[in-house]
Amino acid sequence: MVKPTAFSRGALLASLAQATIAASTSRYTLTQVFNATNFFSEFTFFDQPDPTHGFVEYVDAPTANRLSLAGYSQNGVYLGVDHTNTTTTGRKSTRVTSNQAFTKGLFIADIAHMPGSASSSCGLWPAYWMFGPDWPTSGEIDILEGINTQKSNSITLHTAKGCEMANTGSLGSTKLANGNCEGNTGCGQTTSATNNYGAGFNDIGGGIYALEWTDDHIAVWFFPRNSNTCKSLAAASPSSVPNTSNFGTPLAKFVGNGSGNCSIPNHFKDHNIVFDTTFCGDWAGQVWGQDDTCKSLADTCEDWVGQNPEGFQEAYWLVNDIKVYQQVDQGPAAGQTDGGFGVQRKPDEERRRARSFEA
């Protein structure tokens, strides 16, 4: 079990070692880094009822800080859940959303731990994802998500009507469950490796999830902690940016125009980054009775989650950093942050709210 340092004590400094992963002439440039030095001023806590009807009580920043549900640990950002108290109304948890919104880009998330363990994952529904306004009109990208005793990552897109994706270019063992991305079901790709999600992910110290979002495709890679690519990406300096042509075959790739029938620019825009941990709800709760391990613990998901707080000591995110790279077309000066890959801020009121959480 990890005990975080309260984030009100100030941010920790992060060091980035020089890496030789790409020359500075890459079409990408580093535009943002979220880490322990700035995370809690760049992300806003969501404290409203769960849109997915989870058995959860999302808390605001002061509450998360006071209850040690958020903070710093091992030079990373800790986002956890209450694992001490029983509840009949929903387990306290954290959900945070980036103050910046992005349209297209390369997102490199170094994650050391995600919610879940081999002995207790029933009831959990953690997700690292992105979504835009007026859901599902602006789309949703679920990068790292799963439920209950799931062993491998599910990568899913959600859109409004009129988006049919192909998985041309995905890893051969990854299967496209459904090509129609419309609505709650979305178009999901199921992976097979047991080290890219949950307990298996945590056993190897996590790794890096890379998302590339272009006009032509949305692709996701996973690089385990001890892989050379993970080490290079984790150590990359601001002047060394990734070259996705060296990443190998994506874990999952969604192709729009061409192999598929979906205009990515029309269906995906202005996405905020989200980390959350909910319980039960529209997915984990609905299939509780179909999981032999989970249904043997309690009649309902809510019964188990509410009465067994000790089962959620490992239900936390530990995020080392998230690096955002964006495309610079020919012409913009070095350091220009928007050359076709848009960055937007939330309204001033929400930015002020985020800043008010700082120490």
Indicate which residues carry an active-site annotation: 140, 145
Q: What span, in angstroms and rounded, lies between the C-alpha atoms of 120 and 97? A: 26
Taking the CA atoms of 83, 43, 208 and 240 in sequence, report the sign of the dihedral they define.
negative
The b-or-e profile of 252-287 (16+ CB within 10 A means b, else e) is bbbbbeeebebebeebbbbbbbbbbbbbbbebbbee
Cβ atoms 99, 351 nearer than 8 A? yes
**Alpha-carbon distance values, 266 to 66, 104, 157, 167, 186 (Å):** 42, 12, 14, 19, 16
The label of the residue with tokens 């690292």 reads 128
| Residue positions counted in the chain | 359
Where do we find the tokens 């349209």? 103
Expressed in angstroms, the distance from the first to the final Cα of the chain is 25
